Amino acid sequence: MKLILKDIRVIDPDTNTDAVLDVVSEDGIITFIGKTDDISNARVIDGKGRLVAFPGLMDMHVHFRDPGQTYKEDIITGTDAAKAGGFTAVCCMPNTKPPVDNEELVSYVIDKASKTGIDVYPIACITKGMQSFELCDYDSLKRAGVYAISDDGRPVENAELMRKALELSVTNGLTVISHCEDTNITKGGIINKGKVSKDLGVGGIDRASEDYITAREIALAMSCDAHIHICHVSTKGSVNIIRAAKKDGVNVTCETAPHYFTFTEEKLYSRDADYRMSPPLRTEEDRAAIEAALLDGTIDCIITDHAPHSKEEKADFEKAPNGVVGLETSLAATLTQLYHTGKCSLMHIAKLMSSNPRKAFGIAPLSISAGQPCDITIFDPELEWEVIPEELHSKSKNSVFKGEKLKGKVLYTISKGKIVFEL
């Protein structure tokens, strides 16, 4: 199919382009970018100089619960949510049932995802069964199509195993991704440890849990000159540790999610488990630190940590599992909180949500230029809308942004030249 994006504002970090242009693609490849009057025999999307095109977004941290818990989400519904959020690529965490720790399960994810129309990269476990006792067979996992490894959902408790995984990554090229949590510190906690947990009379999760393991992972990576990627940063302490490590030349990248730079622990006064996730919402001091770290480049990527749970599971505030869905609100929440407040440019958001995640994962970033695959996210940055959970594409509706008014909406998601989502 020939596709023409007419008079669309192209934001491309790879070429440092910010201009209103026409983009032409045929057979999944961009053939021309500039100005054209030939729109014959083509599907035309008229940007009217108002709509914005980013290289397709990538979320390097999602949970699709497939295999094993598909009543919450599966690869098909998860990618439907991703496409509605403007993502042409996602990376699935391995804490499924059973965990993705072998070639057979990697192949299952890849085969099922091949029908979705977007790129789905399975992340495999660091340790067998995510039990922190024995490393997985990384050679077979890489042959099966794995780019990264993580025991996300829990930390690798054995520091020497984590060090060995990092040491091996230097030669095998797999990105090691760490869930930074000391479970001895977090034990019994369900929200941030502080005023709100005290007022509600529930167990708190001390910031030291995240800060300590962040520092540990950086020290381990330094010991073998390896790359470490830190998951879902939520504290001022972790930000400061990562910033100092980067200044010293440590090969560390990191990510955060929109809820950490939008909300604080005050949301938990509602005793609504839809505001519970791991790590938890923190204080205003932490929120401001996360925002500042995104703006100054300390935090490399915005992810969602899309973590679906059923309504029944989320009904009991104190017993509910942690996690929130986020694929369909991520770009809009980021635009609302960072762009429309004048704090951040669209170019920087494109880096945080498209090019940097791919680089951290060891994948070449996309570009809106001739000869490149036509993977493009098109959105109206001015369109205002209310998040209504029942209208989300995900099987689960546990959105931390429910009822919020957001500004910016994905209108089209184009993957390999095909429109896979249209509002």
List residues with catalytic annotation. 305
Q: Decide: 96 and 68 in contact? Cβ < 8 Å.
A: yes
Task: Give residues with Cβ within 8 angstroms of 37, minimum separation 6.
Answer: none
Beta strands at 17-26 and 57-62: parallel, antiparallel or unpaired: unpaired
Cis upstream peptide for 279 (omega within 30°): yes
Q: How far apart are CA 390 and CA 37, in angstroms?
A: 42
Q: How far apart are CA 260 and CA 284, in angstroms?
A: 10
Please identify which residue in the block is written with the tokens 């979705």: 116
State the CB neighbour count (10 A cutoff) for residue 7: 15
